[in-house]
Every structure is written in structure tokens, then in C-alpha cells.
Structure 1
Amino acid sequence: MTTPDPILASVLQRRVQAISHEMATVLMRSSRSPIFNEIGDLVTVVFDRDGRTLAQTEYASIIANGAQPPLQRIIEYFAGDVHDGDVILHNDVYSGGNQNADVGVFVPIFWRDQLVAWTASKGHVADIGGMTAGGYDPRARDVWQEAFRIPPLKLHDRGELRRDVWDLVRANIRLDIVAEDIKAMIGACTIGRRRIVDLLDRYGAETFDAHMDYVIEASERQVRAEIERWPDGVYRGESWMVSDGLDPTARYRVAVEITVAGSDITFDFSATDDQAPGFTNMPAASAIGAIRIAFLMLVTAGGLSIPANHGVFAPIRTVFRKGSLIDPRFPASTIFGNQMCDEVVEAIMLALSDALPDRVTAGWNQFLCTALNGVDPRTDEPSVSLTIFQRGGPGAMRGADGYDALGFSGTPGSMRSPDMEMFELSTPHLMHYYEYLPDSAGHGEWRGGYGTRSSWTFLGVDEAGTTIGDDVASEGADPPHGLFGGGEGGLNELTLRFPDGTTKAWGSKEIVEGIPAGTVCVSRNGGGGGYGDARQRPPELVLAEVRDGLLSAEAARRDYGVAIAADGRTIDEQTTRRLRQEERA
């Protein structure tokens, strides 16, 4: 039996992490879709033979933390029938998937005729069949209307492509680019397999397994020690989703009860409302991913730096109620589910705000972007795109302002905005501007992150667009909450201006078909909530944002008690002292 060496364990852990990163780099640079190579809506993961996560590169964290459940299903499904050279495809939310548009490729790794590990690539493909190109259609009532379901499916068997299977998959997907992206995912997994085999050739399977076990156990010990510092108790929080894509006035409650007991933590979402009739339901794997994102935010806010692996999440227990908005009953449609990460994270942060005031964030602006599809007049080819550049701001926390224009809580700081010129080159749209939205951040001693404003013209033929998100002002959404005296963040506004001069307020989960060429979309994405008393914020920080054009002089005076001099570049010290003294009085 091998006795683990802590230094070698650290070396091997970093090597496996580097392998997952190389896989992601290969995938992004060899893929065809801008959703992959520009936005990075993808993940790569290395698992052990039993499906435990060893390392992951999480450009899209909601996918990364939801990649392990389908592998468990695959291992069970193909028990005794997994071979060197196999390639397994999967997306089905009713057998472990997090979203049908997030297609996964899983490759077993053999060394000396023994299964030793797995590599996986998973990403949001440009089309996955169903009733609408791109997959997002709020009118979908069941899973068959929204996607081509792929349960565990062998695409390669012992190194040989199964042409019948490949042709079946391609026949159910509109865009050839998706086939090319699947090939890129297979290539990334193949690179990972080669690197792991090289590692085993050097150290052997016994040494590798013993040291990976050591890393996982050490990670679990560190995280459990962190949780033990948290006060034991039962904590409750809730968030609201507005509109279900069918009824814009509908409101759904996402409720959590969190139990902290020693080094264990349970997230129970049983009190969440019943499932929706349309596509706004969240599969369990997606919910698990969202819970893990919030958990990692809380753990790392205490200063713990730790790679994501199986041990990090071992203390977590999750409870869902079958038939609720989270974990709906078959065959409910669910393609919006990933976007509900915002509500899950918000409910968790509110639940723990009093228990862990130094770790929680104020409310995030809930993500709102569009999924667009049509015909590109320059090529006469179909076009599908996501306007991920529409980014709101996250909430502040004690000691730190919210990051500006960070966007979706399901991909914190990792999934990228596309380059605007590449967006224009790859899709039939003309950008007018993309910039920070002034006065959008919730005020506080630590302010929320700023949102953005953007505008573009539709150039395509018979385009259709579906909004994907929440926090739309016209629907009566609640603004992102502030904490401990901090101000609320901003809501979202989305307007279509048609060539005939008419306008339309675009809802949060609404499809608009037949958008004529020349239509202009104007988007305003709000900022996050603030933290703490704004009158405690250093005046020089307020002045800097006024001078940068992020904050108006009126907002500086009203929200921060900071008077800007007539020159617009200095502080009126006397008036500022008076304003702040009056507020304290």
C-alpha cells in the first residue's frame, strides 16, 4: 500500500488541474461556435474511475458543477460495458443533465487494460433540435418540444465511430457547426486522456490513486474545518422569479432552509413553489451546480483557497421536492433552468446574511440576455447567437465593492463577453455601443457592481429572439437587495424599436418572432445591491466615480452625502461635512 507524500500529492493535483486547463484551451481554440470560442460557455473535467471530480476548468461554473451527475448515470448505465476508445454523449436532464443545450462528451481512460479515470468536455451548443433553433422557446410545454434528448449514448465503440449513431444525432440538429463543436469536445477529452496516461506511465496507478485520495480527503478536511467556524443553526431565505414565459405576471418563490450542524451543511429547497407549466423549471443537476457556486463563494470569502474537487463538496447535502420548480416531474420543459441560478444564490445569501455577515453578498442584478436566431443575409445561412455581453452587476460584500458588469451568477468571473467586432462578424447584427450604465450600482460603504447599457441593430432575415432572465422593471420585479443599510441595485429594461417607429418593451422570458431588419434593441442592465452605510464611504472614492462618469453629482449628494464642487472635479468639503452630519443627526 502506497503511503502518500504531501509534496507529491500537491504536484499531482496541480498536474491534473493543468490537464483540465489544457483541455479547455484546446476546446476553445478548435471549436467553431462563438458560444464556445468567444464566450467560453463550457467546462472540462477530470474524474477518477468512480466518477469523483479530481479537477475542473470552469468557464461556465453552473455546467462544471453539474457535470458529475450525468457521469454517475453513465457509469451505472454502461456497467461492465465500458472500453478503451469509447466516447459517450449525453445531455438528457432526466438522466442527470443540467440543461439539454449543455451537451457533454465523456471518455473513459484505460491504463494497462484497467479503467483508471475519465475526462469530460461539456458546453452549450448552438442548437439541440426542438421546436426553435437555439432551443430557447417559452412556449415549450414538455421536453420533446424543446430539445433532442440524448441519454447515455455511445458515439465511439472501442475506438470506432458508430456512423449510425452519429447520423442520428446530426439528423436532429439544425446547424452543422454543432457537429464540429462535438468533434472539438472529443478532441479535448482525447488530449486529457493522453496526458493522464503519460502521468500514469511515470507514477503508476497505485501511486496516482493514493495521492488523489489524499488530495480529496485533505480538501474535505479543510472545508469541514471552515464550516465548523460557522454558527450552528437553521436559516431560511427566499427569492422570487417573475414571469414563467407564459404569464408575465406570475411570481414563483424559491425557498431554502439551510441547516449547519458541526461540519455538515444541508440545503433544503422543499418549500419552493410547484413546477411551472413552461420552460422555467430547474433540473436537480442544475440546482446542485448553483448551490455549489454559492457554497464556494461563502467558503472562499473566508480566505480559504482550494481547488474544486469531490472533497470540497462532500459536506453538502441537498434536498429537493419532486414536482417543484426545482426538480420538476417528467416531462416538464427545463431549458431556462440554468438561469435560475440567480434565484438559488440569492435565497442562500439572504438565508445566511445574519449568520455570516462577513461572507455573504448583497443582491445581484439577475441576468438578462437574448437568444437570437435567423438567416444571415451575407451568407444565406442560419445564425444562432447569445448576447452574453448584456451584463448586470453583482452585489457588494463587507470589505469589497461588487465587480462591475460581471453578469450571471452561474458563471462568476469566468464566462466572457464576446468581442464586439467578432459578434458583428459572426452574426447579422451591428453594435452601436456597449458601456457601463451610470448610477446603476446600489450605494453603500461598499457599492454594488455597475451594470451596462448596449444597443444593436438587427440585420438578419426573419429573426426571432427570446429573452432569458429576470429583474425586468416593466414586469414589476424586485430590485437587487442591499444589506446592512446598503441601497438597492438596478433593474433591467429592454426595448425594441421597429423600423416603422413603434416600440415594444421586451419581457424577461418572451419570444418575439419575425423581427424585421433594421430593428434596434436598446438594453439597460442594472447593477448590484450595496453593503453598509453609504455615508461611511470615503468621499474620494465617490469623487473618483463622478469624475469617471459612473456616478452623477446628484446621486453622489443624495446617496453618499458627498457634494461635488462646481468644477465637477473636486469635493465641496464644507457642504459634504454638513450633509453627513445632518444624516447622522
Structure 2
Amino acid sequence: MSDTTYDPVTLDIIQNALEAVADEMFAAQRKTSMSAIIYEVLDLGTGICDGKGEIASSGAGIPAFVGVLDKAVKGILAKHPIETIKPGDMFASNDPYWGGVTHLNDMILALPVFSEGRIIAWTANIAHWNDVGGMVPGSMSSDATSIFQEGVRIPAVKLFDAGVANQAVFDILYINSRLPDYLRGDLWAGIAGVRIGERRILELVEKYGTDTFEAALDDFMELGERRARAALKTLPKGVYHFAEEQDDGAIYKVTIEIKDDEFVIDLRDNPKQSGSKNSSREGVEISAQLAFKAVTDTQAPGNGGFFRPLRVITKPGTIFHVEEPGALGYYSEVEIRLFDLLLRCLAPHLPGLVPAGNFASICGTVVGGPHPDHGRHYTIVEPQLGGWGAQQGRDGNSAIFSGFHGDTFNCPAEVAEARYGLTVDQMALNPESGGEGEWRGGKGIEVHYRVRADNNFLSVGYTRSRIPPWGVAGGLDGTPNYVEVLRPGKATEHYSFGTDIPLNTDDVVRIVTGNGGGFGDPKQRSRAAIENDLKNGYLTAERAAEIYGHVSGKEGTSA
């Protein structure tokens, strides 16, 4: 082992190495998981925390998932006295009331890394599991009113004790899932991920020394804080308010106060917790962290130091601070609505930063039942792609996930057909009109799943289903998200939220996600851009005549 060194180059090498370690953890978990939502959709996150549980580096995956990991580790440390934690221990938690943060489908694994008799870091990951029990297959029910209806609760317990598996926990997990084989594979993939992270960290420690490693983490936190405080000084100081109506008529409200040394988000004046659409206090902090990062310094390290100037105020018993035993199955829709709320609050004061509205929903879609080829139960869990809003100088992106959901992908039609009891009849861009402007909103998608057997089911949770993505500066609003069930010879059924909707052979689940809002007066759209929209099917001739009248004489091309 080398002598202790604190030179900036060495510290920078260690800091960059930690980013690579987190990415390797991500790759290992992805390549060994059983479920397509992990290995195709990438519905997971990996990271490394310091010995106190502050996030130090993050891998790929969902930003809102990476934001869970430090809070989960701190929950573990709050429950387990430090002197009771030993080398070889590994912890599991999915319970939002015990450090799980999100909902019961999302399992967190955390492993303490020891050197010289003390914890110097934690490796951690989180991934969505297809089924953890509960009142319905897929474990997500919009009818749930209590967390006890949503599945098995694992409250920050030891999965391994000094390297020895706690078989009782494994057995409890397996027996509570309708898909035990998939759960087993996904669990061991997560175990492999945190273990490879531990191995790589110990290699760094062997090369540079324990003290130097810890000094690099401290230096990285200080860098994050310096960057955040420098960016905070450039923001307009003041107190800003915003309120937004939701699909169900509820009004969400926020007050943001920007000071020289603090960024305060006050969410106390909001509706009481209700049903399964609630968020934990820690989950709300993640939404606030993502918004804070977006308006300050997007290139700075998103570690624990960066978020020190941020303060979030909530009221227990509200949708933004659920109290036990409130349900959290659709927590993500609350958090993504909050992310929108925060950015819209700041948009008038930060011109050009925030684009027009996007489809902004996870659009969680769960389909399952007996597989027509072998009769075993299957469950497909799919978030959906959608359209982003336009901004000055460019059209919105089409068919990608929301910024809140991050670096994830849709499940390819070929994989869905091979693994699940469905036929994918169509996967195309949303042809509906909406979101026109000088720069148009991106297009959502239209996907048709045809069911191949009887006694299947559908559960969905879509927001922005009544109030569409907003247009800016004269741009037109986009279009809503929704699901239809098309049954042979029967009337079309329309859903935004629904649980355990029966499906039978040849029923079609038609998924439609929103087109983003437009930016600027549609009459100012260039001739070339309009012609390109017509050529590519983004616009019909009838809609062009309605919105643009005669084709604008403005030349040029759209971004």
C-alpha cells in the first residue's frame, strides 16, 4: 500500500474512478438480471456513498433512483447502530417508511465497505421488481389505500450477516412473489452489482491508501458544494409562487425562496394524502434535488455536497409527505408532477431555461396473466415514451422518456413478444394533432398490445391525462396521455388509472402518450418545417390548413 497522498491529481483520479466503479456496478446488474424492465428498460440505479451515507458517485440509470440510495443508507444507519455492522453484511430495503423511499416494487441493496476496521463507503443499487405480492399482480394498484395492500415489506434488514445469507429473508421474498424465478434472478443480479463495487473500491484503497481514499470523497463533496453555491449566486433572488391544477381537480402549490446562500422549497400547503398517489418525504427531496440541479449547475457532480444549500419544507400527512400506513404504489406520478411544478414556478424568472410542457408521466403499464405457450404466469411492466416540449430554436424530442425518468429505454417489440404473452401489433409515433408552434412539440407514441390468451389483466397509472402539456409564447398545448381497451365487437374503454382490468384473447391495449407543447406563434413556422412535417406524417393537410392557413412565406428549416 502506498504512502498517504493528498495531491489534487490523485484525488481527481480516485473521484473519476468511483464514477467508473458505479458504471461497472450498473453493467453487471443489467447483464445478469432476469426481467426485461431491468436489462432492457434499465429501470435501476447504482451509486456509491461515503461512510456516512452521503451520495458520492452515481452510475447510469434513473436519476430519481440514484437519489434514493443515500437516503436508504442513512435509513439503514439510523436503524442499525454502527457497532453492529460488520464486514460481509449486506442490507435490503424496499419499505418507504424504513429507508425504501419509493414503493415496494423497488428493492434497494446496500453493502458497507470496510478498511482498517471502519466503514469507508457503501455500494448500493435499486431496481424495479415485477411482482412483490400485494392485492394485484404487479403489486401496483390505484385502488390501494394502505401499504399493506401493496406487497411484502422489507424494512432495512440484513440480507447477509458477516457474509452468511439470512435465508429467512430470501424465503420471505420468494414466497410472496407471483414470479419467484424472476425475483430470484433479479435479486442475485443486484447482489453481484454491490459486491463488484466493493471489490473495485478495495482495489483503489489498496493502491492509494484508506486516508487518501476518504480524503478524495471529502474533497469531492466540497467541490460539489462550491459549484452549487457559485451557481446559486447567479439566480434571481426572491420569493416565487406557483399553483397547478391536476387531472383530478386537486391543486398542487409551491413556494420557492432563493437567497444568497439557500434555496428553499415550501410544500406545506398541499392536499392531504390520498389513495396510492402519495410520496414519501425523501422522495419529494429527490424531485427537489433534480429541479435544483437543473436550474443551477448541470455539469457539477451531483453528490451530497452539491445539495447542501437546498432545504425542503413539507407537512406530514400530505401527498408530499405521506404518513404510515399510506399507500405509495403510484408515488412516481406525484414526484413527476412536483418536478414540473418546480420548473414552471421558476420558468418566468429564468427565461429560456424551461421548454414547453412535455408528456411528463411515467405512464406505468402492467399487463399479465397465463402465458399462452406454457401457462406460466407472466407480467410485463412498462413505462412509456412520450413527446417533449419545444423551446426557442428547436422542436421538441419525440418518443423518449421524461427527464425525471432519465436514461432509460422502451422494451423492444421483439423482446416483448418473446418473453410475454402478447403480440405487438403497432409501435408508432402519436398521429394526433397538438403542440404546433413556430417550433412544434415532440410526438408521443401509439402502441397496440394484442392479448393472446384469456384471463389476462391490465393495470395503468397515467397523469397528464386531462390537462395536456402546456404551450409557451403562443405555441399550442400538446395532447394528453391515455389508454384504451379495444374488445372485438364492443365499445372502446378509456382509462388513465385502472387496476386489474380484465383482458381476453384478441383484446387490444392501445397506449397513447402525449405530444409536447409548442413554442411560439404557429404562423411563424417556416415553410420548410411545415413541408417536412407533412412529408413525415407529423401533420395532416387538414390540420396544416386549420393552423397555418396558407403556408408561411418564412424560409429556412426547423431544428
* TM score, norm. by length of structure 2: 0.94
The residue that corresponds to 2:240 in the other structure is 235
CA distance in structure 1 between the partners assigned to 2:532 and 2:419 by the alignment: 37
Shift of 1:468: 1.3
After superposition, the Cα gap between the structure-2 partners of 1:405 and 1:478, relative to the gap in structure 1 and judged at 3 Å, is same
After TM superposition, give the deviation of residue 82 of structure 1 in Å. Answer: 0.9
Contact conserved, 1:53 with 1:310, CA < 8 A, in 2?
A: yes
Name the residue aligned to 1:160.
Answer: 164
Question: Residues 99 and 283 of structure 1 are in contact (CA less than 8 Å); yes or no, is this contact kept in structure 2?
Answer: no
Q: Deviations over 1:262-299 (max 9, x none)?
A: 142111111111111x2111122222222222233323
1:200 aligns with 2:205: yes
Partner of 1:566: none
Alignment of 1:372-451 (within 5 A): 372-388=367-383, 390-412=384-406, 414-440=407-433, 442-451=435-444
Do the aligned partners of 2:527 and 2:554 also contact (CA within 8 Å) in 1? no
Equivalent positions of 1:136-215 (< 5 A) are: 136-176=140-180, 177-215=182-220
CA 1:562/1:110 → structure 2, altered by over 3 Å: closer, same or farther?
farther
1:60-99 → structure 2 map (5 Å cutoff): 60-79=62-81, 80-96=83-99, 97-99=101-103
Task: Show the counterpart of 1:521.
Answer: 509
For structure 2, the residue ranges without an aligned partner over 5 or more in a row are none
| In 2: Cα distance, 1:578 partner to 1:405 partner | 28
Q: Which structure 2 residues correspond to residues 292-311 of structure 1 after superposition, within 5 A? A: 292-300=289-297, 304-311=298-305
- Whether 2:470 is the aligned partner of 1:481: answer yes
C-alpha contact 2:4 2:211 (8 A) present in aligned 1: yes
- TM-score norm. by structure 1 comes to 0.90
Rounded to whole Å, the distance in 2 between the matches of 1:13 and 1:345 is 29
AA aligned to 2:484 is T
Distance 1:172 1:313, change over 3 A: same
Instruction: Judge which range, 211-220 or 543-552, deviates more.
Output: 543-552
* Offset of residue 222 of structure 1: 1.3
What amino acid does structure 2 have at the position aligned with 1:487? L
Match of 1:452 among 445, 450, 473: 445
Shift of 1:203: 0.6
| Worse-superposed segment, 347-356 or 395-404 | 395-404
Q: How does 1:478-557 map to 2 (within 5 A)?
A: 478-499=467-488, 501-557=489-545
Say whether the 8 Å CA contact 2:116–2:210 is kept in structure 1. Answer: no
Aligned equivalents of 1:578, 1:391: Cα separation in 2? 32
Matched residue, 1:101: 105
Number of equivalenced pairs? 549
Unmatched 5+ stretches in structure 1: 243-249, 564-575, 580-585
1:577 aligns with 2:550: no
Shift of 1:409: 4.0
Q: How big is each residue's C-alpha offset from its partner over 1:441-498, in whole Å with a ceiling of 9 and x where there is no partner?
A: 51233332211111120113411111111122xxxx1111112222211112422111
Of 5, 8, 12, 1:6 maps to: 8
Identity %, equivalent residues: 27
Kept in 1: contact 2:388–2:396 (CA 8 A): yes
Does 1:345 pair with 2:339?
yes
What letter corresponds to residue 321 of structure 1 in structure 2?
K
Superposed CA RMSD = 2.0
- Measured at CA, do residues 161 and 515 of structure 1 come closer, stay the same or move farther in structure 2, by a change above 3 Å? same
Against the structure 1 CA distance between its residues 236 and 460, is the aligned structure 2 distance closer, same or farther, given a 3 Å change threshold? farther
One of 265, 281, 285 as aligned partner of 2:282:
285
Q: Corresponding residue for 2:262?
A: 264
Query: Is this contact kept in 1: 2:4–2:209, CA < 8 A?
Result: no
Which whole-Å CA distance do the structure 1 matches of 2:533 and 2:387 have between them? 16
**Greater CA deviation, 340-349 or 80-89?**
340-349
When residues 3 and 160 of structure 1 are mapped into structure 2, their CA distance, relative to the original with a 3 A threshold, is closer
